[in-house]
Amino acid sequence: MRAGLVLLALAGLATAIGGTGPARADDAPLACDGGDAHRVAGDDGAVLRYRPLPDPPPINRPFAIEVLVCADGRPLTGRLSFDARMPAHGHGTNYLPAIRPLGAGRARVGDVLLHMPGHWQAELVLRAPERAVGFRFALTP
Amino acid sequence: MIRALLAVLLVLPVGAGAGAGETGDPAAIYSAGERATILAHGPWPPAPARDPSNAVSGDPAAIAFGGRLFEEHRLSSNRRMACASCHLSHRAFTDGQPVSTGQGPIHRNAPSVLNSGLMRWFGWDGASDSLWAASLRPLLAVEEMALGLAGTAAFIRGDAAHAADYARVFARPAAADPDETVAVNVAKAIAAWQETQVSPRTPFDAFRDALASGDRPAMRRYPAAARRGLKLFVGEGRCSVCHFGPLFTSGEFESTGLAHFRSDGRVDPGRHGGIREMQASRYNRLGPFSADRTGPRARLSRQVAVRHRNWGAFKVPSLRNVAQTAPYMHDGSLADLEAVVRHYSELDIERLHADGERILNPLRLDRRAADDLLVFLRSLSAGAGPPSASR
């Protein structure tokens, strides 16, 4: 099931573009209560913290994104899906991301490859037992 | 006319009419974004890259052995076809034919092997994920060299010089290895040699480096028409969306409005078929002959996705040495660079796949803009000299 299709079915999809704060590869693990990772607000108070490694992401080379979804200040766990698309071009990536849990709600989205320069829109969905939350954020290599 | 323009670029490095008496900043026509894009097309040459899936990549003895095998006509069932039969060094390792002539029907244009050590996928459909797998493919293909695993192994074992080379490179006699191992090792030696074939620096590279250093006199040596063509390439024309980076290619696959049918009337599935073929092959980076099944390149082979948009998509070719690799496109259907520029100027968007690249639109170039683009494209070639060895 493609993440994009999942996203379309979600009501109240977070549409925040971009995020705040630069990130460094040697940062401490992502946390709900701060740090300098990017932050995207979602629906019902959910928040995505994410950190491309490296930041900004490279063009046409694999990279990873560390992610953490929080609700009420605590990590929200569930099934993650990720996709990235170029809205102006009408296509997504050519490679499926490899998502690996890191513990404490954190996950690593690996093998992301943005094969063209330009504006990419990342889409991340977390489906927890009681809710699903989606986030969109810009990835511009 | 065309040859005259080429001569301006290749014979007169100072570029007659390139701004004699020109003052001011030769790069003033570029926006900040365009400058950044231009700089991202270099520097050249890049550092040599070794293939972790090939244990003899970068090994001098393997490179020498591979170079001899590349020219070896007896590596074919009719003993008349070498790798070099379709990859001619004086044609930037292409053969000048729309589609190559083998022992059976071949439906695709022979791609250059220059800079192939820097590529991610091999073949117009990317059916090989390594250069050694791509080198093995014609040895086995019945329409190409058609020697097969057993035939390749028997030939190496039976030729004293090659058998000695094999034993030196792989530290055991070919007689001690199974046929399949010998054939794969032959392909790995050929790949090791191909990795060393790097195209020389070009007039564009000199301009790009001058732009990086702010050397205006050096920038002026690059013809004004090439500078305008470059602006079109990285700007309004958006050619650099797919043809970007030092190799002038993303290394990925696009549908560009060419005929969907091969000469035998069958549809060429392009990348869609290429991914499936790679996944099914024993000779991919994930298979038993790969020396690295877990590294970044192997992960891409595992993670590549088969999508509907792959239908009819073909590899975005590198534009380095493009003036020497006519005819063009996967089917060789465009005879010269003028035809290529005309194709994108008058692009038939009805022939693009519905879920393909949306930014492809007819460029509608006037005569001067088309000529500028051609002058720029020819500046990506270094002339008729031999390729440089990277090691």
* C-alpha–C-alpha distance, residues A46 and A132, integer Å: 10
Smallest CA-to-CA distance from B251 within A61, A3, A35, A106 is with A61
**What is the model's pLDDT at position A85?**
94
* pLDDT tens, position by position, B217-251: 999 999 999 999 999 999 999 999 999 999 999 99
Fill in the amino acid letter for B318.
S
- Asked if the model's pLDDT at residue B36 lies above 90, the reply is yes
Higher pLDDT, B4 or B137: B137
**Taken in order B65, B71, B73, B76, is the CA torsion positive or negative?**
positive
* C-alpha–C-alpha distance, residues B270 and B284, integer Å: 18
Q: Average pLDDT, whole number, for chain A?
A: 82
Put simply, the answer to whether A98 touches B303 (Cβ < 8 Å) is: yes
The radius of gyration of chain A from alpha carbons, rounded to an integer in Å, stands at: 14
Fill in the amino acid letter for B71.
E
- Asked if the model's pLDDT at residue B370 lies above 50, the reply is yes
Put simply, the answer to whether A90 touches B357 (Cβ < 8 Å) is: yes
**What is the model's pLDDT at position A22?**
43
> Residues 6 or more apart from B108 whose CB is under 8 A from it?
B99, B100, B123, B124, B330, B331, B332
- Asked if the model's pLDDT at residue B4 lies above 80, the reply is no
- Asked if the model's pLDDT at residue A9 lies above 70, the reply is no
* pLDDT tens, position by position, B76-126: 999 999 999 999 999 999 999 999 999 988 999 999 999 999 999 999 999
CB pairs under 8 A between A and B: 60
CB contact, 8 Å: A88 with chain B? yes
Q: Average pLDDT, whole number, for chain B?
A: 90
For residue A34, the distance in angstroms to the closest alpha carbon of chain B comes to 32
Put simply, the answer to whether A117 touches B244 (Cβ < 8 Å) is: yes
A70-76: which pairs have CB atoms within 8 A and are 24 or more residues apart? A70/A32, A70/A46, A70/A105, A71/A44, A71/A45, A71/A46, A71/A47, A71/A131, A71/A133, A72/A45, A73/A32, A73/A33, A74/A32, A74/A105, A75/A32, A75/A104, A75/A105, A75/A106, A76/A46, A76/A105, A76/A126, A76/A128, A76/A133
Tell the residue number behind the tokens 């920038």, with chain if given. B219
> pTM of the full predicted structure?
0.87
* C-alpha–C-alpha distance, residues B122 and B302, integer Å: 16
**What is the model's pLDDT at position A60?**
94
* C-alpha–C-alpha distance, residues B332 and A3, integer Å: 38
Interface test with A, best of B248, B250, B297 (most A CBs within 10 A): B250
* pLDDT tens, position by position, B271-297: 999 999 999 999 999 999 999 999 999
- Asked if the model's pLDDT at residue B33 lies above 70, the reply is yes
**Percentage of chain B with pLDDT > 90?**
80
Around Cβ A38, how many Cβ atoms within 10 Å?
Answer: 22
- Residue B140 DSSP class: H
CB contact, 8 Å: A16 with chain B? no
Confidence of residue B161 (pLDDT cuts 50, 70, 90): very high
| B268 Ramachandran zone, left/alpha/beta (phi>0; psi -120 to 50) | beta
Q: Nearest residue of B to residue A98 by CA position?
A: B303
* pLDDT tens, position by position, B203-216: 999 999 999 999 99
Interface test with B, best of A93, A94, A100 (most B CBs within 10 A): A94
Give me the residue from B37, B251, B296 closest to A62, CB to CB: B296
- Residue B387 DSSP class: P
Smallest CA-to-CA distance from B26 within B226, B206, B203, B216 is with B216
Give me the residue from A88, A95, A116 closest to B305, CB to CB: A95
Is the distance from CB of B115 to CB of B97 less than 8 angstroms?
no
**Percentage of chain B with pLDDT > 70?**
90
ipTM of the complex model: 0.84
- Asked if the model's pLDDT at residue A13 lies above 70, the reply is no
* C-alpha–C-alpha distance, residues A18 and A139, integer Å: 7
CB contact, 8 Å: A98 with chain B? yes
Give me the residue from A59, A62, A89 closest to B300, CB to CB: A62
Put simply, the answer to whether B242 touches A94 (Cβ < 8 Å) is: no
Q: Nearest residue of A to residue B307 by CA position?
A: A94
Stretch among A103-107, B3-7, B30-34, B101-105 having the lowest mean pLDDT: B3-7
Smallest CA-to-CA distance from A98 within A116, A80, A76 is with A80
**What is the model's pLDDT at position B357?**
61
Smallest CA-to-CA distance from B390 within B104, B167, B115 is with B115
Put simply, the answer to whether A95 touches B251 (Cβ < 8 Å) is: no
**What is the model's pLDDT at position B264?**
81
B242 contacts in chain A (CB < 8 Å): 116
A89 contacts in chain B (CB < 8 Å): 357-359
Around Cβ B4, how many Cβ atoms within 10 Å?
Answer: 7
H helices then E strands: how many in chain B? 15, 4
* C-alpha–C-alpha distance, residues B327 and B346, integer Å: 18
Write out the residues of chain B at the interface with chain A, using a CB-CB cutoff of 8 A. Answer: 37, 40, 240-242, 244-245, 250-253, 296, 299-300, 303-305, 307, 309, 355-359
Give me the residue from A88, A111, A117 closest to B300, CB to CB: A111
Confidence of residue B359 (pLDDT cuts 50, 70, 90): confident
Stretch among A48-52, B232-236, B260-264, B317-321 having the lowest mean pLDDT: B260-264
**SS3 sequence, A58-121?**
CCCCCEEEEEEEEECCEECCCEEEEEEEECCCCEECCECCEEEEEECCEEEEEEECCCCCCCEE
Is the distance from CB of B195 to CB of B70 less than 8 angstroms?
no
Put simply, the answer to whether A96 touches B305 (Cβ < 8 Å) is: yes
* C-alpha–C-alpha distance, residues A92 and A89, integer Å: 8
CB contact, 8 Å: A60 with chain B? yes
* pLDDT tens, position by position, A34-67: 778 999 998 788 999 999 999 999 999 999 999 9
- A95 phi, psi to nearest 5 deg: -130, 145
What is the three-class DSSP state of B211? helix
A118 contacts in chain B (CB < 8 Å): 241
For residue B288, the distance in angstroms to the closest alpha carbon of chain A comes to 22
Helices (H), B294-378: 296-303, 337-345, 367-378
Burial A88-98 (b: 16+ CB within 10 A, else e): ebebbbbbbbb
Fill in the amino acid letter for A18.
G
* B46-57 average pLDDT score: 95
- Asked if the model's pLDDT at residue A8 lies above 80, the reply is no
* pLDDT tens, position by position, A74-88: 999 999 999 999 998
- Asked if the model's pLDDT at residue A7 lies above 50, the reply is no
* C-alpha–C-alpha distance, residues B389 and B194, integer Å: 9
Stretch among A71-80, B16-25, B187-196 having the lowest mean pLDDT: B16-25
A91 contacts in chain B (CB < 8 Å): 309, 355-358
Smallest CA-to-CA distance from B181 within B53, B78, B283, B260 is with B283
What is the three-class DSSP state of B268? coil
Smallest CA-to-CA distance from B174 within B151, B192, B149, B156 is with B156
- Asked if the model's pLDDT at residue B12 lies above 80, the reply is no
- Residue B304 DSSP class: B
